[in-house]
Amino acid sequence: MNLTIENILLIGSLLLFISIIAGKTSYKFGVPTLVLFLAIGMLAGEDGIGGITFNDPQIAQLVGVVALNFILFSGGLDTDWKAVKPIWKEGLVLATLGVLLTAVSLGMFVYFITDFTIFESLLLGSIVSSTDAAAVFSILRSKNLALRANLRPTLELESGSNDPMAYVLTIAFLGLVVHQDQSWTSIIPLFFQQMIIGTIAGFGFGRLSKIIINRIKLDFEGLYPVLVIALMFITFSVTDAVGGNGFLAIYIAAVYLGNKYLIHKKTILKMFDGLAWLMQIVLFLTLGLLVLPTQILPVIGIGLVISLFLILVSRPLSVFISLIPFKMKMRRRFYISWVGLRGAVPIVFATYPLLAGIEKANMIFNIVFFIALTSILIQGTSLSMVAKWLNVSIPSADKILTPSEKFLEEHPKTEMREIGIGNTNKAVGKMIVDIEFPKSAIIAMIKRDNKYLTPNGSTVINSDDVLIVLSESKKGMKKVYKALGIKEYAV
């Protein structure tokens, strides 16, 4: 069956519906939803019962890039900087040196056991060198897995920020395969260019996006998530156009925004959480349609050998070497090694050799697909079990929530104060979002001219207003007084 304008919506919506229903029950059998999405795509494809013909890697790559924008941005919004700050160095080293060591060690192994050239081998190693944000975010969160000693923020920071390194290595070694007269040293300036520009652009667009979101006045609350989507794509495309890494830029911008005060933040977080899941389903369905199971079968043997080497040797080796400078218990290093999930990102990167038309592009794509599938099946299904074995999990009651979960969770408030705002108060004339209220407190109501108003982030504080403030604790209420510039606080 060929996809046409007439049937694409029907087929697409049916596949989406089936994926959601299948995903709802998949964990009862211990199967990650991502595998289900891939399997449904393969069953609907040319070699499956659906018979849908889809062999356009360029469209698959476009879908992949768009989906990764949403997945990385949503993950960035959920990244709590306070949790990440103590381990940002570990995460940065894993996202750079760890990826490089994985690519090189796996590439050398592939070179010795196959007839690939050295650059083709390193290209394959580079494509699968990064942990997959979509897989890590969805599996850790859907399993409701709570981990000890900053393990979860370390894993999420690594998976959210290591794609740029893998992308740079993939593009660099692909260039060396296509243009064999180039020197491998050409990788170095490309890496620094991508990383430096991407980092600067991420912080710059994050700050600019915050100003735009909080200053612009839209008539409908539902338009604010749409505005954020536009800003997200602008960040990615402009960064990419000036030679930076767009994936790194949108992740940094999202982390910045997720830890700042935004108008209608609750609506934005809810919308992006749903969009991230939608994009994961669409991405895995698309990649499932693109792959042909009949072409996977011939590479199962070599693919399994490479996949096991990646899981048992290459990934642990890169993690242990990268974390040498840091104090960390051995069992935590082992668990970080095990959560080296490969998923959609390597498969998307594997479309680049297809579009470049190199000789072994199809074989590379099929091997990468098999590696991603086995990684999700072997590692993804055993995360909870391995966490218990290594004693790195904590009871779910003690689970540390992400910023969006904290923001959306209904906490009982134990402190309430009516706070009068005088003419000289520094909050007068400012919007609530600009006051930078502590996250542990909210302005529930404002009494103004004997009327009660329900405020939002864009509400401007007037003199003689009476703020009805709720806080989780007395400590939080002290922070409220400090934010309002009121020195005296009666305990």
Q: Are residues 248 and 301 in the same domain?
A: yes
Residue 412 burial (CB < 10 Å; 0-12/13-18/19+)? exposed
Whole-number pLDDT of residue 97? 93
Cβ atoms of 433 and 261 within 8 Å: the answer is: yes
- Cβ neighbors of 28 (< 8 A, separation 6 or more) are none
What integer best gives the mean pLDDT of the chain? 82
Q: Are residues 431 and 351 in the same domain?
A: no
The domain that holds 466 is classified in CATH as: 3.30.70.1450
166 vs 172: CA distance, rounded Å = 10
- Tell me the backbone φ, ψ of residue 452, rounded to 5 degrees: -105, 125
Q: How many Cβ atoms from other residues are within 10 Å of residue 330's Cβ?
A: 9
Q: Are residues 469 and 357 in the same domain?
A: no
Give the confidence band of 433 by pLDDT, cuts at 50, 70, 90: confident
Residue bearing tokens 């470049």: 356
**Sheet with 451-453, side-by-side order of all strands:** 415-420, 466-471, 441-448, 451-453
Q: Where a domain ends, among 351, 379, 403?
A: 403
- Tell me the backbone φ, ψ of residue 120, rounded to 5 degrees: -65, -40
Domain that holds residue 477: 412-483
Higher pLDDT, 287 or 321: 321
Q: Are residues 48 and 158 in the same domain?
A: yes
- Cβ neighbors of 18 (< 8 A, separation 6 or more) are 40
In eight-state DSSP terms, residue 460 is: B
87 vs 157: CA distance, rounded Å = 9
Cα–Cα distance list, 283 to 47, 168, 257, 345 (Å): 19, 21, 25, 10
Please write the tens of the pLDDT for every residue from 115-173. 999 999 999 999 999 887 666 766 666 555 667 667 878 887 888 788 888 888 998 89
Does a structural domain hold residue 490? no
Number of domains in the chain: 2
Q: What does the longest C-alpha to C-alpha distance in the chain come to?
A: 82
What does the radius of gyration of the chain's CA atoms come to, in whole angstroms?
Answer: 24
pLDDT above 90 covers a percentage of the chain that reads: 24
Q: Are residues 328 and 473 in the same domain?
A: no
Q: Are residues 163 and 307 in the same domain?
A: yes
Residue bearing tokens 């977080």: 269
Cβ atoms of 434 and 453 within 8 Å: the answer is: no
Q: How many Cβ atoms from other residues are within 10 Å of residue 336's Cβ?
A: 25
- Cβ neighbors of 336 (< 8 A, separation 6 or more) are 94, 151, 154, 155, 158, 319, 323
* Residue 490, pLDDT above cutoff 50: no
Residue of 430, 378, 411, 349 whose CA lies nearest to 166? 349
Q: Are residues 157 and 205 in the same domain?
A: yes
Residue bearing tokens 């709570």: 146
Q: Where is average pLDDT lowest: 32-46, 79-93, 108-122?
A: 32-46
Does a structural domain hold residue 18? yes
Higher pLDDT, 458 or 68: 68
- Cβ neighbors of 161 (< 8 A, separation 6 or more) are 91, 92, 95, 248, 251
Q: Are residues 381 and 436 in the same domain?
A: no
Give the confidence band of 397 by pLDDT, cuts at 50, 70, 90: very low
The domain that holds 317 is classified in CATH as: 1.20.1530.20
3-state SS assignment for residue 419: strand
378 vs 32: CA distance, rounded Å = 10
Whole-number pLDDT of residue 313? 95
Mean pLDDT of 428-432: 83
Residue bearing tokens 């890496």: 191
Does a structural domain hold residue 191? yes
Does a structural domain hold residue 43? yes
In eight-state DSSP terms, residue 297 is: G
Q: Are residues 373 and 336 in the same domain?
A: yes
Q: How many Cβ atoms from other residues are within 10 Å of residue 219's Cβ?
A: 6
* Residue 491, pLDDT above cutoff 50: no
Q: Are residues 99 and 141 in the same domain?
A: yes
Alpha helices in 27-150 (DSSP H): 33-44, 57-77, 81-84, 88-93, 99-113, 118-127, 133-142
Predicted TM-score (pTM) of this structure: 0.75
Residue 445 burial (CB < 10 Å; 0-12/13-18/19+)? middle
Does a structural domain hold residue 489? no
Q: Are residues 354 and 452 in the same domain?
A: no
- Tell me the backbone φ, ψ of residue 460, rounded to 5 degrees: -90, 130
Whole-number pLDDT of residue 227? 94
371 vs 45: CA distance, rounded Å = 20
Please write the tens of the pLDDT for every residue from 449-488. 878 888 877 788 888 888 888 887 777 788 888 888 786 5
Instruction: Determine the straight-line distance between the first and last CA of the chain, rounded to whole angstroms.
Output: 72
Whole-number pLDDT of residue 23? 60
Q: Where a domain ends, among 384, 403, 422?
A: 403
Residue bearing tokens 């042909």: 292
3-state SS assignment for residue 208: helix
119 vs 225: CA distance, rounded Å = 43
Q: Are residues 372 and 466 in the same domain?
A: no
